[in-house]
Amino acid sequence: MAPVSDLEIDVREKRYPAVGGAAPHLALKDLRITVRHAEFVCVLGASGCGKTTLLNIVAGLDRDFAGRIALPTGPGKTEPVVGYVFQNPRLLPWRTVIENIRLVLNPAQVRSGIVEELLAATGLQDFPQVYPERLSVGMTRRAALARAFAVRPDLLLMDEPFVSLDEPTAHRLRLLLLEIWGRRPTTVLFVTHDTREAVLLADRVILLTPAPGTVAAEVPIDVPRAERADPAILERLRRRLIGERANLLRAL
């Protein structure tokens, strides 16, 4: 059986060409990241630093770059399976919740019962036949999480999935994400601009510079997640991260 592997990112350069009167834009430069198997890594940076560009490159949605991406594969697999949770849940409006989740699965996966298991885990077991327009924003986010985990991803990419939610709802979904991830460990690369979110979720936080984005610092979050539920501990970790970020910006 083949061993599990890590995510290896080496983007020497990602440049957007000139369009109309706009000048060419160098989005990423000499960016190198390794994410270990089943590690939860948050990428933190200001708007415009290339975070979403990075995820799209890793996902294979953008191949116009100089560099190399090595995706992780699970035990016994020859091809990696990647899940992607976007800022917008992207549920098909003409399909029900359960149909949206089954859409990404093959017949054997559907028969395995994983859809029903994830509907229960996300609290959507009473809404399988409901169309997205009848769901709250928080429920659509839960459906998107269920769909992402349903494929049993070797790598889960998440692009600020809770950014538009009120804080209590966002916090509940962060805890739900950790609960599901704890049951189904996978490698996670999570993009955010929220320092509190980063220290709550991550094993390690990667700080990006302003564009062209590159890795400026890596900050391990070495406090057990159970202790991070304490607001005082969470705030201490957040202030530490903010300090690292301020030192980074002063050094540029």
Residues 6+ away with beta carbon under 8 Å from 184: 149, 152
* Helix/strand/coil for 201: helix
Q: Is the confidence at residue 20, as pLDDT, over 80?
A: no
CA atoms within 13 A on the CB side of 213: 24
Residues 6+ away with beta carbon under 8 Å from 141: 89, 161, 162, 165, 173
pTM: 0.94
Residues 6+ away with beta carbon under 8 Å from 58: 7, 9, 69, 71, 82, 155, 157, 189
pLDDT tens digits, 99-120 = 999 999 999 999 999 999 999 9
pLDDT score, position 3: 67
Across 234-239, average pLDDT: 94
DSSP characters for 110-154? HHTTHHHHHHHHTT-TT-TT--GGGS-HHHHHHHHHHHHHHT--S
Residue 184: pLDDT band with limits 50, 70, 90:
very high
Radius of gyration (C-alpha) of the chain in whole angstroms: 19
Residue 162: pLDDT band with limits 50, 70, 90:
very high
Q: Is the confidence at residue 22, as pLDDT, over 80?
A: no
